[in-house]
Structure 1
Amino acid sequence: MEFEHAPNDPTRKELSPLLKLALELGPLGVFFLFNARGEQIAEAFPVLQSIGQPIFLATAAFMVAITISLTVSLWLTRRLPIMPLVSGVVVLVFGALTLWLHDELFIKLKPTIVNCLFGSILLGGLLFGKSLLGYVFDSAFKLTDEGWRKLTLRWGLFFFVLAVINEIVWRSFSTDFWVNFKVFGVMPITLLFTLTQLPLIQKYAVTDESKDA
């Protein structure tokens, strides 16, 4: 039996891969830039000096960048994928707490909260017989029910692994190291994990030929 998570919608507009990548990674790049060059940026624009240390300036810039990214995505596609939307909401909430209380703890907790949230959604769905991975990732490919269950279980556990890693890094290292790891460490880890799942996806993929058969 085929389980189709993302049926084709003729009115749905798709972004080019490069533009989609830019919208997803752009805010992280802004976060890294403002944290690394926060003092120089504040000197060039004195109005920003009231925000405080580079991490707070980076947090404010991150909030603005992710809002722009979501707005552009919505304008171009008339829709917002679940994962960027949830992540963006958490960034805005925890970023606001970071700036309001002047405590960088909240922005550091954001990856932990988001990863635990998605991990709980995926594993919780399996308890009720639902494989929600396709909805979380806005997936367009098709797998058998068994394939979705296995892939959902793996990704659910992986999200919790990312949450644990984030907790270890921000508690054990400097803020600058944590920012660098968030920008340049999490993406390669996620990409490597994704590549390890390709054999499972190929094994349980549903093609048009198998559907007809």
Structure 2
Amino acid sequence: MAERQINGVLKQVLELGPPLLFFVVYLQLRDTEYVIGARSYDGFIVAAAIFVPILLAAMGALWALTGRLSRMQIVTAVLVIVFGGLTVWFNDERFFKMKTTIVYGLLAAILGFGLWRGQSYLAFVMSEMLPMRDEGWMILTRRLTAMFALLAVANEVIWRTMSNDAWVTIETFVFPVLLFAFFMAQARLFQTYGEDDG
């Protein structure tokens, strides 16, 4: 079934809104302890628990409006549910922080497996939006695989060595900006290998 088109601003709000809301909720709750069912939870754990239904509501709205979700959105939702649940169940923020490492690591592994097989799985997902010759897709896939691997390693270093405030800020703003900058830096590649789809 073809994806129904929706307003671009609305789509961005539904995709980027949940992480921004997590950031705001975390800032409001970070210095408070909450007792729920005779267990004490810090603000980070409560913010992580609140993030799960916010993300699922946004994805549900996106699916209702467009008629589809990407495979990556579905995988991300499953990981958020699993690791958000583990975070609350064990009352341990490390699970929620590791989610980012696993998402980036999984993306790097999937793209790397495709490269090992001589294929660009990125082209499979994006070629309709961005017509490009096979050679260009292989170059972009190699670069993006390295980028995802670096982000996975960076997340591990950051959450293990920095404060919660630093990790939440970097997770919410720095990683997305780095990915945006990465794609902007590929403009020459797109021009060199792009195909005119008529």
Q: Same fold (TM over 0.5)?
A: yes
Name the residue aligned to 1:98.
87
TM-score, structure 1 length as denominator? 0.84
Name the residue aligned to 1:194.
183
Once the 2 structures are TM-superposed, how far is the Cα of residue 41 of structure 1 from its aligned partner? 9.0
What stretches of structure 1 move > 4 A for 4+ residues in a row?
A: 39-43, 46-51, 135-139
Once the 2 structures are TM-superposed, how far is the Cα of residue 163 of structure 1 from its aligned partner? 0.5
Task: Please say which of residues 96-105 and 81-90 is displaced more in the overlay.
Answer: 81-90
Cα RMSD for the two superposed structures? 2.4
Q: Could you say which structure has the greater relative contact order, defined with CA pairs below 8 angstroms and 6 or more residues apart?
A: 1
Check whether the contact 1:30–1:61 (CA below 8 A) recurs between aligned residues.
no
Name the residue aligned to 1:129.
118
| Structure 2 residue 149 is matched with structure 1 residue 160 | yes
Check whether the contact 2:29–2:47 (CA below 8 A) recurs between aligned residues.
yes
| Structure 2 residue 168 is matched with structure 1 residue 184 | no
Q: In structure 2, how many angstroms separate the alpha carbons of the residues matched to 1:20 and 1:138?
A: 20
| Structure 2 residue 2 is matched with structure 1 residue 30 | no
Any idea what the Cα deviations from partners look like across 1:134-184, whole Å, max 9, x if unmatched? 445686111111111111111111000111111111111111111111112
Name the residue aligned to 1:15.
6
Name the residue aligned to 2:52.
63
Structure 1 residue runs of 5 or longer lacking an equivalent are 1-8
Check whether the contact 1:111–1:166 (CA below 8 A) recurs between aligned residues.
yes
Structure 2 residue runs of 5 or longer lacking an equivalent are none
Check whether the contact 1:32–1:179 (CA below 8 A) recurs between aligned residues.
yes
| Structure 2 residue 195 is matched with structure 1 residue 206 | yes
Task: Please say which of residues 16-25 and 145-154 is displaced more in the overlay.
Answer: 16-25
Letter of the aligned partner of 1:99 in structure 2? V
Give secondary structure in 2 for the equivalent of 1:86. helix
Q: In structure 2, how many angstroms separate the alpha carbons of the residues matched to 1:127 and 1:164?
A: 21
Check whether the contact 2:33–2:42 (CA below 8 A) recurs between aligned residues.
no
Paired residue total: 198
Distance 1:162 1:204, change over 3 A: same
Question: Percent of counterpart pairs with the same letter?
Answer: 35
Give secondary structure in 2 for the equivalent of 1:52. strand
Q: In structure 1, how many angstroms separate the alpha carbons of the residues matched to 2:26 and 2:174?
A: 16
Aligned ranges 1:73-152 → 2 under 5 Å: 73-136=62-125, 140-152=129-141
Q: In structure 1, how many angstroms separate the alpha carbons of the residues matched to 2:63 and 2:125?
A: 17
Once the 2 structures are TM-superposed, how far is the Cα of residue 39 of structure 1 from its aligned partner? 6.0
Letter of the aligned partner of 1:34 in structure 2? V
